[in-house]
Amino acid sequence: EAGVAQSPRYKIIEKRQSVAFWCNPISGHATLYWYQQILGQGPKLLIQFQNNGVVDDSQLPKDRFSAERLKGVDSTLKIQPAKLEDSAVYLCASSPQGLAGGVSYNEQFFGPGTRLTVL
């Protein structure tokens, strides 16, 4: 079974430029997560999709970050314009659909991440 794919693996941009990251989750996984991992810290959730709907985007800086998941499969995370503090690793994860009744455990599978450096 193929894992979560992300591209690019590395990206270097100047501040105020724009950048986009792509994620392809494991086939059949309904839930997709984007996490931001700043150096020296643990990952922090930016946005969570259930199929193509947004479940949680409370930590997403909406003035500069946007994300979409068209057709409930692939997802793109965009930053425009980038700031120095956006330098981080951006991790994508996916998990299967929750069971009926809403209480279950579904493991999150992570991609290799994209390391963004903003100069």
Partner 1 sequence: AQTVTQSQPEMSVQEAETVTLSCTYDTSESNYYLFWYKQPPSRQMILVIRQEAYKQQNATENRFSVNFQKAAKSFSLKISDSQLGDTAMYFCAFMKHVANSKLTFGKGITLSVRP
Contacting residues toward partner 1, per CB under 8 A: 30-31, 33, 35, 40-45, 48, 50, 55-56, 89, 91, 93, 95, 97-99, 102-108, 110-113, 115
Give yes or no for a contact between 75 and 32, defined as CB atoms under 8 angstroms apart.
Answer: yes
CB neighbours of 60 closer than 8 A, spacing ≥ 6?
46, 47, 67
Give yes or no for a contact between 5 and 24, defined as CB atoms under 8 angstroms apart.
Answer: yes
45/81 with CB nearer partner 1: 45
> What minimum distance in Å lies between the beta carbon of 109 and partner 1?
8
57/74 with CB nearer partner 1: 57
> What minimum distance in Å lies between the beta carbon of 73 and partner 1?
16
Measured CA to CA, the distance from residue 37 to residue 45 in angstroms comes to: 9
